[in-house]
Amino acid sequence: MKTTLTCPCGTVIRGADEDDLVALTQAHLATEHPGRDYDRDSILFMAT
């Protein structure tokens, strides 16, 4: 299960599970990188 993603901006995002990680990453993108929108598969591809 992938639960960590490091954004190119340097922010490390950790979720309790994959669903949480996707939600937290999408929230980070909306707040910090407006206009950047990735789907679940793309986020999990970049995650570890």
pLDDT at 17: 98
Q: What is the pLDDT along the chain (48 residues), one digit of tens a residue?
A: 999 999 999 999 999 999 999 999 999 999 999 999 999 999 999 999
pLDDT at 24: 98
HSE value, Cβ hemisphere, 13 Å, CA-based, for 20 = 9
* pLDDT of amino acid 13: 98
* Sequence letter at residue 7: C
pLDDT at 26: 98
Q: Which domain holds residue 17?
A: 4-46
Domain count, the chain: 1
**Residue 31: predicted pLDDT:** 98
- 27: CB partners within 8 A, 6+ apart: none
pTM listed for this prediction = 0.94
